[in-house]
Amino acid sequence: MLPSTYLTPQQIVKELDKYIIGQYEAKRNVAIALRNRWRRMNVDTEIQGEIIPNNILMIGATGVGKTEIARRLAKIADAPFVKVEASKFTEVGYVGRDVESMVRDLVEQSVNMVKAKKKEEVKEKAALAVEEIILDALIPPMRSKTAGFPVTTEETNGTPTSDVELNERTRNLFREKIKNGELEDRKIEINIKQGGNPGVGMIGAGMMDEVSMMNLQEMLSGMMPKKPKKRKVTVGEARKFLLEEESSKLIDMDEVKEEAIRRAEDAGIIFIDEIDKIASGSGKKGGGGPDVSREGVQRDLLPIVEGSTVNTKYGVIKTDHVLFIAAGAFHISKPSDLIPELQGRFPIRVELTNLTKDDFVRILTEPKNALTKQYQALFEAEGVTLQFDKGAIDEIATTAFEVNAEMENIGARRLQTVLSKILNEFLYDVPDKINAESTILIDQQLVKDKLSGLIKNKDLSEYIL
């Protein structure tokens, strides 16, 4: 079931604004599509099953934010998300990669998400079990020879003289030390379970479908006994190994699989990038052959997008309510070059605008993950302060915009190539020549000096920028 505290469309757009500059129309449409999932899950009547998602086709040049919008949308929704390139399905002859693999990847992602959530729920209980295992490795418990009978001991001034009681007292003392983190570097010997042989090879595996192969491998792996392996590690390292092991023991994998399938069906998002590469128009230069292959891939994609059942190693999943977001630059081909049936499955069309110089200035400064902030964090790790003045930001944006106009337009990705050209020398000199607590100021003149030769020499800039 989707969370009841789902964000409203306007709240979703505000969240996307923190990372993506401009493209309001695209953000508005994906926000509506996301909110509609919550609305569908809260419809009480039998029509709930009939409400299908409005799949979206995003059209725009590379680097304008298509992939970022889809990725951020999945994070906001805390939903299983898979990104695939449509061109992957044409790489190996006519069939290429199995189109159903993207649905299996989605379920795998969903299983990992649910498993992580369940492990978080049992974390405290698992931590207590791990504490006892570590304690047993440090101070093994003593068993009374008169098991089943009360142990009678002579006491002097309240001090226990029984070995069992002394052992228990020592264990309690060490238990406190473990809790306080005083023994993290102490070496102990623990048993770590090793799985069966994961690389079980099968003769004639090519004749079997992917799901059957995975199921068979899992079955054979389960039949092989898990041998415990002794390892000498620190208490801190042991805690990491054992916490994973103990958490896995406490969660019900059947429950995880059921919830993961449900979550993938109701909240899953599949982002199909480069869909223009499988449009018929993109193969005009190559003759008739490639178009046949591209149309074949479109027809393979159609039932998945339309709604079908796919076998996975975790169970059967229906794709009827999975949200599909497709994207493409459509430089050579047009959306109308896709087969009509596939076009009809992407009713919402959004055209993303090319980025302006002012957009570049905003991209460099406003988003939470702005490139300037990323580089500042990298320098800060070395104790060095990196500062950009307004003139430098303006000059970087102008250069990136001009290079995009003169050469191939790769959108905001051009900013990364320009910034790396400016800052790589400084990154190389830290910490050998530039000490910690130093300040590096990037101003307009410095940017001009670093890039002037490249901008003038178009042949050189084509390779470097």
- Give the tens place of pLDDT for each residue, 216-249: 555 555 555 566 778 788 888 888 888 888 888 8
| pLDDT grade for 465, boundaries at 50, 70 and 90 | low
What's residue 410's pLDDT? 87
Same domain, 304 and 363: no
Same domain, 180 and 270: no
Q: Is the residue at 330 inside a domain?
A: yes
Same domain, 279 and 332: yes
Over residues 24-38, the mean pLDDT reads: 91
Q: Where do we find the tokens 């042991």? A: 238
Q: Which of 351, 384, 417 is a domain's end point?
A: 351
Which DSSP letter does residue 224 get?
A: S
Q: Is the residue at 323 inside a domain?
A: yes
Q: Is the residue at 153 inside a domain?
A: no
Same domain, 336 and 411: no
What's residue 97's pLDDT? 58
| Residues 301-353: tens digit of each pLDDT | 999 999 999 999 999 999 999 999 999 989 888 899 999 999 999 999 999 99
| Residues 106-155: tens digit of each pLDDT | 999 999 999 999 999 998 888 888 888 888 888 888 765 544 444 444 44
Same domain, 134 and 225: yes
Same domain, 216 and 130: yes
What's residue 201's pLDDT? 45
H or E, element range at 193 = strand 187-194
How many domains is the chain partitioned into structurally?
Answer: 3
For the domain that residue 325 is a member of, what is the CATH number?
3.40.50.300
Q: Is the residue at 71 inside a domain?
A: yes
Task: Show the domain range for 384.
Answer: 357-457
Tokens standing for 429? 């000199």
For residue 262, give Cα distances in angstroms to 122, 362, 385: 21, 40, 48
Same domain, 332 and 226: no
Q: Which of 75-84, 112-121, 281-290, 456-465 has the lowest mean pLDDT?
A: 281-290
What percent of the chain shows pLDDT beyond 70? 80
Q: Is the residue at 464 inside a domain?
A: no
Q: Is the residue at 98 inside a domain?
A: yes
What's the whole-number average pLDDT of the chain? 82
| Residues 74-117: tens digit of each pLDDT | 888 888 999 999 888 865 444 445 889 999 999 999 999 999 99
Q: Which of 300, 320, 351 is a domain's end point?
A: 351
| Residues 370-395: tens digit of each pLDDT | 999 999 999 999 999 999 999 999 99
* DSSP-assigned letters across all residues of 354-380: PP-HHHHHHHHHSSTT-HHHHHHHHHH
